Structures are given as C-alpha cells and as structure tokens.
Amino acid sequence: MVSLSEKIAVVTGASRGIGRGIALELAACGATVVINYQKNAQSAEEVVQHIVAAGGKASVFGADVGQEDGANGLVKYATDTYGKIDILVNNAGTTRDNVIMLMSADDFDSVIQTNLRSTWLCSKAAVRSMMRKRYGRIVNVSSISGIAGNGGQTNYSASKAGIIGLTKALAREVASRSITVNAVAPGFVLTDLTSGLPEDITSKLNENIPLGRWGTIEDVAKATAFLTSDDASYITGHVLVVDGGMAM
C-alpha cells in the first residue's frame, strides 16, 4: 500500500461507484479526503462515515463542479479547511448514450460539461494552490471509450478523449512546479450500474478482455492511488489503462 500520510485529497463525484472506491482507497493510504457530490448527500455522508469508522479523516462538500462557482468553491473549501490541497482526482462524470442521429445537442453539451469541463475547472482552481506550494498530484478519470471509442457514445467518448488531451497539455504546463498530471482509463468495471446486466451480455463482453474478467472498482482505485503517491513522482502526462488488456 502506498503512503499518503498528511496529504489532503479532493475527489469529485465521490458519493458512489468508482469515485467512492477511490476516496476509500486514498483514505486507507492515509490521506484526508474531501468527498464531493452533486445530488446524493446521504451517500456522500455514508462514505465519510465509512472512512471515519476505519480510523481515517474525511469531510463532504456538495457542488456542481461543471460550473465555475462549484469548482472554485470546492477547492476553496479544501484549502480553507485543511490549509492546502495535495491531490485532486477528477472523477465526476455522467452518460447520456444514444446513436448520433437520436442524440440531442443538450445530451452532448451536458456530458461534455459534467465530464470534461469539470475536469478543466477543478484543475484550474487546484493548480493555483499547488503551484504556490510547488507540489501536486492530479489524476483525471478517463475511459477506454476515450481511446477506442464506443458506438452510441459520441458525447461520452469525446469527453473522455478530451480528458486525455487535457491531461497531457496540463502536465507540460505545470511540470516545472513539481506537479504531476496523469489519467486512468478504466475498461469494463463492475459497479452498481453494471452488476445487473444479463449473464449472456457480460459473457460476450468478457470475450474481448484478454484477462477474462471485468475490472473491479478496487482495480481502478489502487491504480489511482499509485499515481497520487510519491512512488509515481517521475510519471506525468501518462494514461494508465486499467482494462484487462482490451486496448492492446
């Protein structure tokens, strides 16, 4: 397990799914974690309770980080409360899947705002603090859909591909201040949303995964924790694909 003792971490979209798993993993590694959510306050509070019960430290801040005020407010809360921000994980995301002929402009804009714009806004806000301290770790959650594309997800795939481009560009901008910027790109991951898929569908999807299984939230969380740690201090602008070999 990597050590994140005395680090202050902010995880967006951390009330459920992959974001929740990342928050729990960072806390288990010793970080104090700010749990961001947009709608589900109860689930966010449950994540905090889980961390505290395990002996960790965490707090909650609700905000729509796809809006500038929300992103700035989240980072301000972290720095005002804890004096700094060491780690930012941009995980907030949504989907509005459809084939392009049936996808509305609102469906496209909404996904771009939640997934890509939030990553840019939160990174911009956090970098100000990180540059002053000459230290920071930013990890952006992309997707295999941003690398290989996925039918019915022109909006989602575009947003996740944009996150990869943003990651590489920002990594070049802030490297001289000892700030690393990386991305994780999960493949098929078992979450509450995917656990109910029929067995015939999951079996067919497994045929495209060389390791023969879907990923777990823990697989993604541990990869993210590594990139936030000092063990990864010489890695920046990298996309760590956590997909069981699908994109080889």
- pTM comes to 0.95
Q: Does the residue 32 lie in any domain?
A: yes
CA dist., res. 44 & res. 49, Å (int):
9
CATH code of residue 53: 3.40.50.720
By C-alpha distance, which of 161, 158, 163, 172 is closest to 127? 172
Q: Does the residue 246 lie in any domain?
A: no
CA dist., res. 121 & res. 181, Å (int):
14
Q: Does the residue 190 lie in any domain?
A: yes
CA atoms within 13 A on the CB side of 116: 18
Active-site position among 37, 135, 156, 234: 156
DSSP state of 235: -
Over residues 186-200, the pLDDT tens digits come to 999 988 766 666 677
Q: Does the residue 142 lie in any domain?
A: yes
For 224, the domain range is: 8-240
The two three-digit tokens of residue 9, written as one number: 């971490």
By C-alpha distance, which of 201, 193, 188 is closest to 247? 188
* Total structural domains within the chain: 1
Residue labelled with tokens 């944009």: 162
Give the total residue count for the chain. Answer: 248
Q: Does the residue 245 lie in any domain?
A: no
Look up 135 and say whether it is catalytic: no
87-90 vs 136-141, strand pairing mode: parallel
CA dist., res. 128 & res. 209, Å (int):
40
Q: Which residues contact 153 (CB under 8 A, 6 or more apart)?
A: 95, 97, 145
* Element at 138 (helix H, strand E): strand 136-141
Q: What is the pLDDT along the chain (248 residues), one digit of tens a residue?
A: 799 999 999 999 999 999 999 999 999 999 999 999 999 999 999 999 999 999 999 999 999 999 999 999 999 999 999 999 999 999 999 999 999 999 999 999 999 999 999 999 999 999 999 999 999 999 999 999 999 998 899 999 999 999 999 999 999 999 999 999 999 999 999 887 666 666 776 777 788 899 998 999 999 999 999 999 999 999 999 999 999 999 88
